[in-house]
Amino acid sequence: MEKAQATHNILQVHEATNYYDHAAKPELLAQFWGDHTPFVRFFARLRCDVVLELAAGHGRHVPQYRDKASRITLVDALEQNIVRCRERFDGDGKIDYYANNGVDLSALDDSVYDSVFSYDAMVHFELVDIWGYLQETRRVLQPGGLALFHHSNYSLYPTNIWTDNPQNRNFMSNAIFTHMADRAGLKVVDQIAMEWGRVKDLDGLTLLQRPPL
Ligand SMILES: C[S@@+](CC[C@H](N)C(=O)[O-])C[C@H]1O[C@@H](n2cnc3c(N)ncnc32)[C@H](O)[C@@H]1O
């Protein structure tokens, strides 16, 4: 399948789904924010003053860092998700919203954020789109700022589309992610492989830094 079609397919599926209500249930939030999860451990290393959350969905992770932040930008390629976030956080002047094109962060200024992260979304993205987002992450991070990405570590079938693979993981590996981050000018500070849906090492969690000046 050609890349543009694959990216479009991922967005289409996320447009008409009951995922968001389901994912907001406490037992599913606990996969991320429960005691001693790798997500909590890695997230604790972010400063979270000026935060960019990529592919924020309906904003279920926002309450975890909202109190710490002085400014938050929620990005998602689906306009309807950005609308839901606006409604949910209505009146919170420190949050701004960006329905992007699924490829870049061109509306955002350089060197603004001390923390960029994405959970439970990049696992599905096309590798080529992740390459774009890594370059954009390098650009929008402050020097010394950190980015934390939850991505796929499944690279068995390069021509499969995401829905062919276990847990809808797209083609990616920790090694390829490390290579792309390096070429985008980001340093890998920490990286793990972890189980998802009872599949050992299906996912990767990678903490990146834009080198300080
Ligand atoms: C499985 S949902 C996860 C949402 C949120 N991160 C969460 O954990 O609740 C995936 C999200 O990624 C967004 N998305 C899909 N492809 C995208 C892309 N290329 N760029 C930005 N967002 C995208 C979808 O609109 C959806 O909100």
User: Do 52 and 115 contact (CB within 8 A), yes or no?
Assistant: yes
User: How does pLDDT run across 28-64, given as a tens digit for each residue?
Assistant: 999 999 999 999 999 999 999 999 999 999 999 999 9
d(CA 93, CA 89): 9
d(CA 162, CA 170): 4
Paired sense of beta strands 95-99 and 71-76, if any:
parallel
Instruction: Report the pLDDT averaged over residues 111-125.
Output: 98
Range of the structural domain that residue 68 is part of: 3-209
Determine phi and psi for 45, rounding to 5 degrees. Answer: -85, -10
Distance (angstroms) between ligand 1 centre and the Cα of 213 equals: 32
Pocket test residue of 8, 13, 14 for ligand 1, highest count of atoms within 8 A of CB:
14
Ligand 1 neighbours, Cβ below 6 Å, are 7, 10-11, 14, 19, 23, 55-57, 60-61, 76-78, 81, 102, 119-121, 125, 129
Q: Give Dmax (Cα) for the chain.
A: 46
CA-based torsion, 61, 112, 122, 93: positive or negative: positive
Its pTM stands at: 0.98
Q: What percent of the chain has pLDDT over 70?
A: 100
| Number of domain units in the chain | 1
Residue 76 banded pLDDT, cuts 50, 70, 90: very high
User: How does pLDDT run across 165-195, given as a tens digit for each residue?
Assistant: 999 999 999 999 999 999 999 999 999 999 9
CATH of the domain at 163: 3.40.50.150
Q: Which atom of ligand 1 is nearest to the CA of 78?
A: 25
In this structure, which residue's CA is closest to atom 26 in ligand 1?
Answer: 57
Give the chain's radius of gyration (CA, Å). 16
Distance (angstroms) between ligand 1 centre and the Cα of 143 equals: 26
